[in-house]
Amino acid sequence: MKIKKYLVAAITAAFTFSAQADEGMWLLQLMKQQNSIDMMKKQGLKLEADDLYNPNGVSLKDAVGIFGGGCTGEIISPEGLILTNHHCGYSSIQQHSSVEHDYLTDGFWAKSRAEELPTPGLKFRFVHRITDITDLINSRIRAGEVNEYEAMTVPFLNKVAKEELEKSDLKGKPGIEVRALPFYAGNKYYLFYYKVYNDVRMVAAPPSSVGKFGGETDNWMWPRHTGDFSMFRIYADKNGEPAEYSTENVPLKTPKFFPISLKGLNEGDYAMIMGFPGSTERYLTQSEVRQRMTAINQAMIDMRTVYLDVLKKYMRQSDKTRIQYATKFAGSSNYWKNSIGMNKAIVDNNVLETKAEQEKRFAAFAQGNPEYEGVVDKIDALVEKMTPALRRTEYIYEALNGAIEFGCPPALMDKMKQAIETKNDSLFQATKKQLETMYDDIYNKDYDPEVDRAVAKAILPALAKALTPEELPVFYQTIEKEYKGNYDAYVDDLFDTSILGSRDNFDKFLKKPSVKAIDHDMATAYSRAKLEAIKTAATERGKFSQELNLLHKAYIRGLGEMKQSVPSYPDANFTIRLTYGNVKSYNPKDGVHYKYFTTTNGILEKEDPENPEFTVPAKLKELILKKDFGRYAMEDGTMPVCFLTTNDITGGNSGSPVIDGEGRLIGCAFDGNWESLSGDISFDNSLQRCIALDIRYMLFILDKLGGCSHLINEMNIVE
Give catalytic residue positions. 87, 228, 654
Residues found in the chain: 719
DSSP 8-state assignment for residue 641: E
How many other CB atoms are found less than 10 A from the CB of residue 338? 21
Q: Report the DSSP beta bridge partners of residue 131.
A: 191
Beta pairing class for 176-183 and 250-251: unpaired
Are 62 and 50 contacting, i.e. CB atoms less than 8 angstroms apart?
A: no
Write a three-state SS string for 300-334: HHHHHHHHHHHHHHHHHHCHHHHHHCHHHHHHHHH
How many other CB atoms are found less than 10 A from the CB of residue 626? 8
How deeply is 449 buried, as exposed, middle or buried, from its count of CB atoms within 10 A (0-12, 13-18, 19+)? middle
Terminus-to-terminus CA distance in the chain, angstroms?
Answer: 55
* CA separation for the pair 671, 653 (Å, rounded): 8
Amino acid at 643: F
Tell how far CA 76 is from the center of its chain. Answer: 22
DSSP 8-state assignment for residue 719: -
Are 64 and 656 contacting, i.e. CB atoms less than 8 angstroms apart?
A: yes
* CA separation for the pair 440, 25 (Å, rounded): 42
**Would residue 214 be called left, alpha or beta, if left means φ above 0 and alpha means ψ between -120 and 50 degrees?**
left
SS3 66: strand
Q: What is the CA radius of gyration of the chain?
A: 27
CA torsion sign for 666, 670, 674, 676 is positive
∠ CA(24), CA(25), CA(26), 5° rounding? 95
